[in-house]
Structure 1
Amino acid sequence: MNFNEKFNQAPNATGLVGHFIAGQLTYQTERTQNIYNPATGEITKQVALADTQTVEHAIAVAQAAFPAWRDTPVIKRARVMFKFKELLEQHSADICQLIGQEHGKILHDAAGELQRGIENVEYACGAPELLKGEYSKNVGPDIDSWSDFQPLGVVAGITPFNFPAMVPLWMFPMALVCGNTFILKPSEKDPSTSLFLAELLKKAGLPDGVFNVVNGDKEAVDTLLHDRLIQAVSFVGSTPIAEYIYATATAHGKRCQALGGAKNHAIILPDADVDNVVSSLLGAAFGSSGERCMALSVAVAVGDEIADLVIEKLQAEIKKLKYGHYADTSNDFGPVISAAHKAKVEGYIQSAEEQGAKIVVDGRGAAPSGYEQGFFVGPTLIDQVTPDMQSYQEEIFGPVLQIVRVSTMQDAMQLINEHEYGNGTCIYTRDGEAARYFSHHIQVGMVGINVPLPVPVAYHSFGGWKRSLFGDLYAYGPDGVRFYTRRKTITQRWPAANVREAKQFSMPTLN
């Protein structure tokens, strides 16, 4: 049976998605949860929810595999990643199919997600260069000093539903090439992609036990956070959970990076190219059904004239958008992940309306022909939003674009700087002076100048400010290398034979 047959049909005879531990799929569980096709609303599979014993078994397996993997030459670890990249590309259609089935993402969007993940694998292939240490000769009389970067041990990644391929690929390729072993706890809403990646790693030559996948809920998460063998935890998700993950992990002596939520603003200055602004806002606000932490959910128009013009053009273009089943690539976006999330997004729209905002385009009650039971929210445009509204303050995580009107660029920047989130932002303008001032003074971690989704490429690092990130190091890129290693500095001296040296009690210096 090939990969496509194994994972695009029922994972076993009962349709149960299990775990991947010690190089094997395992289905032991006492608890399960339904997996839905978000486009149809139908239950398609069930996922096993790992208990504490199952997670601890995976951790023990990873700990046992660590010494041999740590001592594997870095060039050999990198070769596994080279082969893994090749397999990802060969099986890209299968992976995108899995993402579409369980997440609902349109195939072309899934392909984009996967490609951004593959770029992180490409960066990890440079581990022999990235892990080169530092050396200084004669730091003192006949004394040499150097430092190298050594793996931590068993590390864990806890990843969200919205990018079932890309976000895990932010984490484990770098962790593995640095010499760590890895436990991945993906979202229980769309877990099959992670198991597919595990099978590809095994086929690429990764030794059994070095990479393990446990599916589960809070019980599995808490086991990872409390187990003394876990040295570091990477997390991407909502801010309340990120804060909990960070507080719990660090309280147990673990290194932690926890990426949380966002409320990304785009400032539109009066000199902006309106047609291009509208085109980019459509993709940035409604792509992936708005279920991404870099989605542009608030457009801050400087002046009523530019606001009215942008809204007029947006309203016309939104009518042309298509949403529906993942396999129809003429669709622009698909459903949201669940019935509960659909209700939550529609609740924010209702809240905005009740608090005085104007619903220009209403996506509530969306029901594409043939998929009336799916979890769809149509593209929604809301004007006259004010900072005191709940829908402005909180992350909606759906295909909803809000318009806030201000008088000056300074007013717009103040809105952004005062918001509790600081993940991404952008400014639309032709004024280089304004753009430079904005990029220097805005209190946000990732900034775009006429770029609506300023997601850093794989050889930079990804992360926000304020309550969008808990921890000191960003995800992937150079920060990823530092997060998954610790520095060791060695200083050595070889005294001349048969020479008795004088005692020295003061701090050694070069004076």
Structure 2
Amino acid sequence: MQNDKPVTHTVGHLIDGRTVADTARTQALFNPATGQVSAHVALAGKATVEQAIASAEKAFPAWRATPPLKRARVMSQLKVLLEQHADEIAALITAEHGKVLADAHGELQRGIENVEYASYAPELLKGEHSRNVGPGIDSWSEFQALGVTAGITPFNFPAMVPLWMWPMAVACGNTFVLKPSERDPSSALFIAELAQQAGLPPGVLNVVNGDKEAVDTLLHDPRVKAVSFVGSTPIAEYIYAEGCKHGKRVQALGGAKNHAIVMPDADIAGAVSAMMGAAYGSCGERCMAVPLIVCVGDDTADAMIAGLKTEIARMKVGPGTDNANDMGPLVTQPHFDKVKGYVDQGVAEGARLLVDGRALKVAGHEGGYFLGPCLFDGVKPGMAIYQEEIFGPVLGIVRVPTLQDGMQLIDDHEYGNGTCIFTRDGEAARYFTDHIQVGMVGVNVPLPVPVAYHSFGGWKRSLFGDLHAYGPDAVRFYTKRKTITQRWPSAGVREGAVFSFPSSR
């Protein structure tokens, strides 16, 4: 639905500390709650992206030479500014993504925690030192910056995921080019402007909005040394293959299909409450959402369904600006159509649709992209709603006779991002956490998203690359190790040539 009023605001780019328009190509931004055009975003062409890369390359030598403590102080000041402007940032997120304001604040808080972790850079960048590894020989390692780095981020966490990437990258001495999602770019751009207020020099962080042309420019340009990505698995695989082909270090986080196992001895009421948020929070648009509940035993499944139906009936769905609502709209009309299509397909494939949210209409927001919560029973492997990532408020119940059967389903799935188990049995929980082939595991915790000082990442086709996002792995990803071995012979002592391989023997 198009807005009849003229739209004059265009979201541009931030390059070398200045706003750059580059409006040769633009794309409409929509308010998901109304379906109306709220602004336009400029889509950077190759030349504009190259301008951003050149700015980052120019800024790198001086920024690399800046003491880590001074770089860390910028992060500390940025944390203060993010907290001061939290309401403005959350409003931008909600206006373009649609999630409720409380969820937007939660996303931002997780991002702020990553900024706080990046402010520990002086400690994190300390190398290792060994004295007298040989006669008069000392050896040590250092973590040195890579150069120009880049990040390509998704629509579902427009503030948090960029903050997974560039704060640690620049704290480690790199410069950065960020390409946020063109569906909801304003919060990332606003945060970049706050970083400049915090003391980040021009060119250290550049933001370019764009589509595949911008992405491919970042992947192909030899000045970009590393690329971080979060998004769907097909694109993650492309980013990884293309970036590696061009000699870059790449971490590409892909899709997910997270299963929650509920055991017969679980606290069913607690599991129901946890699953409501895990399945329907942020309208299901999370890579750590739980779209599948694997119930061990029919009695467990029946109890979970009864509890879920009661809680779903209490849910309030509406615009994210009203914090009385539990769930907002989906992000765009095409995504709404895609998610609704999965519900249609689930019915066609024989799953039993117990709660149907397809007919939901929100008064006063009839043009918004609202899909009510959906609940299926009888979901089985092979069905599209079981196999594929839906990224919407669609929850499926899978019935299995034993824990081992449930674990086999999880291990057989192509994705291995997150999973969880609800049980009172410590032995079952320990067996599950030890043996399940998934990167992030919760015990009575539905969304086991690591805190900022751990690292985030899945297994199998949920991650391409060796290092996870943020936390300690981020320091390793955004630096290269250099080992130095040094000898200062005693005055007047000279040795002859030695032709055997050096050792400490």
C-alpha distance in structure 2 between counterparts of 1:494 and 1:214, whole Å: 49
C-alpha distance in structure 1 between counterparts of 2:263 and 2:466, whole Å: 33
Corresponding residue number in structure 2 for 1:166: 160
Residues 1:452 and 2:446 are matched in the alignment? yes
How far the C-alpha of 1:16 sits from its partner, in A, is 0.6
How far the C-alpha of 1:266 sits from its partner, in A, is 0.3
Corresponding residue number in structure 1 for 2:72: 78
- Which residues in structure 2 correspond to 1:428-467 (within 5 Å)? 428-467=422-461
C-alpha distance in structure 2 between counterparts of 1:442 and 1:127, whole Å: 34
User: Percent identical across equivalent pairs?
Assistant: 67
Corresponding residue number in structure 1 for 2:224: 230
Instruction: Output one character per residue of 1:321-359: Cα deviation in whole Å (capped at 9) or x when no partner.
Output: 011111100001100110110110011111110010000
Letter of the aligned partner of 1:349 in structure 2? V
Contact 2:22 2:43 in 1 (8 A): no
C-alpha distance in structure 2 between counterparts of 1:487 and 1:313, whole Å: 53
How far the C-alpha of 1:500 sits from its partner, in A, is 2.8
Contact 2:419 2:438 in 1 (8 A): yes
Equivalent residue in structure 2 for 1:343, among 309, 324, 337: 337
Corresponding residue number in structure 2 for 1:283: 277
Corresponding residue number in structure 1 for 2:193: 199
Contact 1:66 1:180 in 2 (8 A): yes
Equivalent residue in structure 2 for 1:307, among 297, 301, 311: 301
Residues 1:112 and 2:84 are matched in the alignment? no
Equivalent residue in structure 2 for 1:51, among 24, 27, 45: 45
Corresponding residue number in structure 1 for 2:312: 318
Equivalent residue in structure 2 for 1:218, among 189, 208, 212: 212
C-alpha distance in structure 2 between counterparts of 1:137 and 1:367, whole Å: 71
Q: Which moved more, 1:239-248 or 1:360-369?
A: 360-369
Q: Secondary structure at the match of 1:319?
A: helix
Equivalent residue in structure 1 for 2:139, among 138, 141, 145: 145
Residues 1:412 and 2:403 are matched in the alignment? no
C-alpha distance in structure 2 between counterparts of 1:281 and 1:230, whole Å: 41
Corresponding residue number in structure 2 for 1:99: 93
Corresponding residue number in structure 2 for 1:4: none
C-alpha distance in structure 1 between counterparts of 2:504 and 2:64, whole Å: 37
Instruction: Output one character per residue of 1:118-161: Cα deviation in whole Å (capped at 9) or x when no partner.
Output: 00011111001000011000000000000010000000000000
Corresponding residue number in structure 2 for 1:498: 492
Letter of the aligned partner of 2:62 in structure 1? A
Q: Secondary structure at the match of 1:34?
A: strand
Corresponding residue number in structure 2 for 1:135: 129
TM-score by length of 2: 0.98
C-alpha distance in structure 2 between counterparts of 1:388 and 1:154, whole Å: 43
Q: Which moved more, 1:157-166 or 1:363-372?
A: 363-372
Aligned residue pair count: 500
C-alpha distance in structure 1 between counterparts of 2:272 and 2:208, whole Å: 42
Contact 1:239 1:467 in 2 (8 A): yes
After the TM superposition, which parts of structure 1 deviate over 3 Å for at least 4 consecutive aligned residues? Answer: none
How far the C-alpha of 1:498 sits from its partner, in A, is 3.1
C-alpha distance in structure 1 between counterparts of 2:64 and 2:408, whole Å: 48
Q: Secondary structure at the match of 2:314?
A: coil
Contact 1:103 1:190 in 2 (8 A): yes
- Which residues in structure 2 correspond to 1:60-75 (within 5 Å)? 60-75=54-69
C-alpha distance in structure 2 between counterparts of 1:254 and 1:65, whole Å: 20
Letter of the aligned partner of 1:18 in structure 2? G
Equivalent residue in structure 1 for 2:463, among 456, 466, 469: 469
C-alpha distance in structure 1 between counterparts of 2:421 and 2:198, whole Å: 43
Q: Which moved more, 1:22-31 or 1:85-94?
A: 22-31
C-alpha distance in structure 2 between counterparts of 1:375 and 1:365, whole Å: 12
- Which residues in structure 2 correspond to 1:118-129 (within 5 Å)? 118-129=112-123
Instruction: Output one character per residue of 1:248-294: Cα deviation in whole Å (capped at 9) or x when no partner.
Output: 00000000000000000000100001100100000000000000000
How far the C-alpha of 1:510 sits from its partner, in A, is 1.9
How far the C-alpha of 1:363 sits from its partner, in A, is 1.0
Q: Secondary structure at the match of 1:36?
A: strand
Equivalent residue in structure 1 for 2:475, among 481, 494, 508: 481
Corresponding residue number in structure 2 for 1:3: none
Q: Secondary structure at the match of 2:335?
A: helix
Corresponding residue number in structure 2 for 1:390: 384
How far the C-alpha of 1:367 sits from its partner, in A, is 1.4
C-alpha distance in structure 2 between counterparts of 1:111 and 1:140, whole Å: 55
Q: Secondary structure at the match of 1:475?
A: coil
Corresponding residue number in structure 2 for 1:243: 237
Equivalent residue in structure 2 for 1:28, among 11, 16, 22: 22
Corresponding residue number in structure 2 for 1:7: none
Instruction: Output one character per residue of 1:38-74: Cα deviation in whole Å (capped at 9) or x when no partner.
Output: 0000000000000000000100000000000000000
C-alpha distance in structure 2 between counterparts of 1:299 and 1:74, whole Å: 46
Letter of the aligned partner of 1:263 in structure 2? K
C-alpha distance in structure 2 between counterparts of 1:287 and 1:241, whole Å: 24
Corresponding residue number in structure 2 for 1:509: 503
Letter of the aligned partner of 1:64 in structure 2? K
C-alpha distance in structure 2 between counterparts of 1:134 and 1:494, whole Å: 19
C-alpha distance in structure 2 between counterparts of 1:230 and 1:418, whole Å: 36
Letter of the aligned partner of 1:249 in structure 2? G
C-alpha distance in structure 2 between counterparts of 1:217 and 1:231, whole Å: 20
Contact 2:10 2:42 in 1 (8 A): yes
C-alpha distance in structure 1 between counterparts of 2:430 and 2:490, whole Å: 59
Corresponding residue number in structure 1 for 2:36: 42
Gaps of 5+ in 1: 1-9
Contact 1:29 1:51 in 2 (8 A): no
RMSD of aligned residue pairs (Cα, Å): 0.9
TM-score by length of 1: 0.97
How far the C-alpha of 1:195 sits from its partner, in A, is 1.0
Q: Which moved more, 1:155-164 or 1:501-510?
A: 501-510
Q: Secondary structure at the match of 1:144?
A: strand
Contact 2:32 2:97 in 1 (8 A): yes
How far the C-alpha of 1:312 sits from its partner, in A, is 1.0
Corresponding residue number in structure 2 for 1:184: 178
Contact 1:84 1:200 in 2 (8 A): yes
